[in-house]
Structures are given as C-alpha cells and as structure tokens.
C-alpha cells in the first residue's frame, strides 16, 4: 500500500501535502499564496482515487486547521469524503477489520478536532539559515575512486529546508585518468528521467518551459524531464568533502532542474558503489543519458 499507516499524516502523499503547506507558512507566505500553490482540488490519482483523495483532503484540512485558516468548504468536504469510507474499505480489504476500525477511529477524531475552533494556532517557525557552504550551485565536482579513475558530478542546487542544508548532486558519465575540464564534459551526458504527463503537450510545455528541446532529442513528446539527484546533507558531507574538488562551473538550465528522482548518500562509499557501475545503477532506477550540451547553458 502507498501509505504507511492509518493515521492522518502517515504516508508519502499525506506528508508531502502537509510539508508543502507548512513550508510555505514558515516562509511567511500569506494564506492566499498557500492556497494558490497548494490548491484544494481533486486530482486524478488513478486506481483508488477516492482512497488517495481522502488522504489529501484530511491532511489538507488538518494543516489549515493548525494554522487557523480552515474553511467551511474544507470541513464539509472532509465530512463528505469520510462518509464514503474509501480508506476504511482499503485498510479492511488489504489488512483486516481491525485496521479498518483503526482508520475509522482516526477519521472520527480528526472530524471532531477540526469541527472546533483551534485555540492554539501554530506559530510560524523560524529556521536558522546556513550562510557558509562547502559547495555552490553549478560547481563541477570531480573525485577519484579506488580504480584510480576520475569521475564528475554537478552541484545542481543547494537547498535549505526546515533547518537542513542539502547539496543536490547529479551524475555525469565522465570517467577518465585525468580530472575533467569543462570542454571535455561537453562530450558526456547527465543522468535524468522522463516523467509521464497527464496534460496535453501545450500544458506540459507551459509547466516546464523548453522541455520541447528534450522532446526533439528523444523523438518523443509530452513528458516532463527531471534530474536524478544524489542528495548529501551538509552534516554528512563534512566527513568526506575533501574527496571532492571543484574544477569549474557548469549551469544546468533552471527549467530542467525538476526532481525526477533522488536518493540520500551519507558516505563516500555510496559514491564508490554507484559510480563503480554507473550504467547498471541508471538501468535499475530507470535513468537515461542526456547530453551535457542539451541540458546546460553552454
């Protein structure tokens, strides 16, 4: 099942919805901006749409109740959706009657909670922003593995979220006995993914400008493009930052920096295991090679 438990915030969709709202809230976005960025609308989740919509609606309403902005529309929609008992049915069928009853209990508690005014509205959190970084966006980082070959990644972005600083590294296919130069990297590729789009091609293009450049390259159209990120936290990279050397700058086009997939790498051994057989790693995770000259501002 795509959710981890019966609680209101207990799975990927619920956590993503809640975090998106709270991140905007903590960034001092006004309520109208939050509603615009995370609209209260039904999406097409494919099979079990009612089940996933229940997760979205209940999480959304809980988040807005916590910040003191729940509306009658949200409350009435929660009542309507929970009456369908889509979640209760799923947990009963895929687990047992006991799990179905647990989900019902969570829904009952939620409805009772959000039907009353919140007497303790959540304050906006202020997180300390890091100012000193080990690497900067667009840095080309080279490193040498035990086979004595050099490899290269691009630091596509540095993000700070809820007090945690993360370096978003993307793999290039460079492998050589010497450290790469910018001119040499132009002959190599970057790992990325094609992401299915439920929109028509015109809407897809408006959502991700210039993606038609990738469509022409692949001789296919109407999909989103995303990078495959190797994420390393500032805290983790302290122990192996000296393994990397900045050898130049290479900027991936902003519209192509969309998340296609990611994994957290907490040690240099992870880079050893990934780049020791990068082709196999890319195959396992459904990644493809896209030319540096196509994705970067050159």
Judged against a pLDDT cut of 90, whether residue 71 lies above it is answered with: yes
Whether the pLDDT of residue 2 is over 70: the answer is: no
| Whether pLDDT at 163 is above 70 | yes
Average pLDDT over residues 210-214: 97
Element (H, E) at 84: helix 72-84
Token pair for residue 295?
Answer: 């994705």
Mean pLDDT of 213-239: 95
**Confidence class for position 216, pLDDT limits 50, 70, 90:** very high
Q: Is the pLDDT of residue 286 over 90?
A: yes
Phi–psi pair at 165, nearest 5 degrees:
-95, 130
- Domain positions in the chain are 12-114, 139-295
The pLDDT of 3-9, averaged and rounded, is: 82
Q: Give pLDDT, residue 95.
A: 86
Report whether pLDDT(45) > 80: no
Q: Tokens 């902005």 identify what position?
A: 69
| Residue 234: its H or E element | helix 234-237
In the beta sheet, which residues pair with residue 227?
192, 259
Q: Model's pTM, two decimal places?
A: 0.69
Flag whether pLDDT at 1 surpasses 60: no
pLDDT at 3: 54
CA dist., res. 70 & res. 8, Å (int): 16
Calculate the average pLDDT of the chain: 93
Which tokens sit at 102? 């647990």
């Amino acid at each position: 099942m795509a959710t981890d438990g019966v609680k209101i915030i207990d799975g990927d969709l619920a956590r993503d919805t809640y975090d998106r709202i709270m991140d905007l809230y903590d960034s001092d976005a006004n309520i109208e901006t939050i509603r615009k960025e995370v609209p209260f609308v039904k999406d097409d989740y494919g099979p079990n749409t009612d089940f996933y919509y229940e997760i979205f609606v209940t999480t959304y309403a809980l988040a807005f109740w916590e910040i003191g902005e729940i509306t009658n529309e949200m409350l009435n929609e929660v009542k309507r959706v929970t009456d369908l008992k889509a979640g209760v049915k799923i947990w009963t069928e895929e687990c047992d009657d006991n799990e179905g009853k647990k989900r019902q209990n969570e829904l009952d508690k939620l409805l009772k909670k959000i039907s009353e005014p919140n007497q303790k509205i959540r304050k906006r959190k202020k997180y300390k922003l890091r100012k000193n970084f080990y690497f900067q966006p667009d840095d080309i980082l080279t490193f040498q593995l035990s086979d004595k070959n050099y490899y290269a990644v691009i630091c596509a972005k540095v993000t700070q979220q809820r007090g945690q600083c993360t370096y978003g590294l993307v793999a290039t296919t460079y492998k050589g006995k010497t450290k790469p130069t910018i001119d040499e990297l132009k002959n190599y590729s970057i790992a990325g993914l094609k992401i299915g789009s439920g929109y028509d091609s015109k809407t897809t293009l408006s959502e991700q400008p210039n993606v038609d450049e990738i469509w022409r390259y692949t001789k296919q159209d109407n999909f989103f493009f995303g990078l495959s990120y190797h994420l390393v936290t500032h805290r983790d990279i302290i122990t192996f930052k000296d393994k990397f050397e900045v050898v130049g700058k290479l900027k991936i086009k902003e519209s192509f920096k969309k998340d296609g997939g990611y994994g957290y790498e907490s040690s240099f051994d992870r880079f050893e295991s990934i780049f020791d057989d990068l082709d196999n790693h890319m195959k396992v995770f459904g990644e493809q090679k896209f030319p540096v000259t196509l994705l970067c501002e050159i």
